[in-house]
Structure formats: C-alpha cells, structure tokens
Amino acid sequence: MKNPLLAIVLLLTVSGVSAGNYEDGLAAYEKGNYAIAFSKYKLAVGQGDAKAQFKLGVMYDKGEGVVQDYAEAVRLFKLAAGQGIAEAQYNLGVMYANGEGVVQDYAEAVRFLKLAAGQGIAKAQSNLGSMYHNGEGVVQDYAEAVRLYQLAAAQGDAKAQSNLALMYDYGRGVPQDDAEAVRLYQLAAAQGLAKAQSDLGVMYTNGEGVVQDYAEAVRLFKLAAA
C-alpha cells in the first residue's frame, strides 16, 4: 500500500523547488540578467509552474534573452492560460487578434479576452470592448462595448476612457452627452494618450461640451502632434 504522507511530502518538495526556480528567474529578469532568468524559468516550466510558463512566454514574445518566437510564446501562454493565469489569457487574445504566432482568429481572440476580462484585467476589458464596438469575432453591440469600456475606464485604462468618450460623443450605446465625452477625453488626455488629446482639441475647437477655446485646442493638438 502506498504511503499517502510520503506522496504529499514529495509533492510539496517539487512545488517548493518550482517556486524557488521561479523566484530566482524573476529576480534575474528584473536585473536584466535574461540568460539566467531564461534558465530558471525553463526549469520551473518543466515542473508545471504556471507563472513561469507565462514569464517565459513573455521572453519569447519580446525576444528577451532568446530569439523572438511568437509560436513558442503562444504555446507557453496556452499552458499558463489553462492554469488560470489572466495575463496569459489576455496575451493570447491579443495574439489571436493580431495573428502573431497563430492564424488570425477574432472569435478565438474574443474567447481568451473574455476569460481575462472576467478576472478583472482592464486591458482585456478594453480590448474586448473594441471587439464588440467593431463587430470583430462577435455581433457588433455598442451597449456591451460601453459596459466593458466602463469597467476598464474605472480602473484607469486610458484607451477605454478615450473609447468611452467617443461613445458619448456620438451617442453609441449611450445617450449622446458632450460634457461626459469631454470629461472622459480629459482623463485619457492627462495620461498622454494622443488620440484623446486630439479629440479633446476638436471639442474645444467646436465648443462641444465646453466653452469654445481655440488656445486650449491648439495646446492639445500640439501635445498630440508631439
């Protein structure tokens, strides 16, 4: 008869070694020692460590310490995503949307973005909102796009704030509201998003939601142009 206590001890030992390799890899990565980070992450990946699978995928995705390889990044992200790593799910969504390492597939992009968005990842909520906004991989749905933009905007995501402003600007999925559009454009513009700065400049040029102010419009256009 197998000793269950021994099995548990062995499992904990393997888990501890995996965690040690991951932490060593993370420390090396943060210091820019990519070769050591790669080696440690790879050891942890061999032990099934989900966080290491994600981090090693990032290194392949960016070509850090290794030749850039989108296909290998996708493989590693899938392993991590299968273990519930939200950032890996988000990255897979982006890679399927862009056709990086895989054949472009909007429906699959939506599937992974939904998983990450459900875990509260603002960038996933924002990107998924764009998919609903544009009808990519899903039936176009402005109301759902607005809902997702609102979730991401509340977390400070500049692109979501800008896109949500656009929805208020044109009355898509929400009642048209220039003042709310301006407020949201201002939030995104303050974070340095050029498109929001430009769109806010248009609002000041036309006096929409604000008192017409050409000087402020010029200032914003200059920021965006830069």
- Please give the structure tokens belonging to residue 19: 């965690």
Helix (H, G, I), strand (E, B) or coil at 135: coil
Residue 222, classified by CB atoms within 10 Å of its CB into exposed (0-12), middle (13-18) or buried (19+), is exposed
Percentage of residues in the chain having pLDDT higher than 70: 92
pTM: 0.87
* Model pLDDT, residue 19: 75
Torsion of CA 69, 70, 72, 73, to 10 degrees: 120
- Whether 158 shows a pLDDT value over 90: the answer reads yes
Average pLDDT over residues 44-66: 95
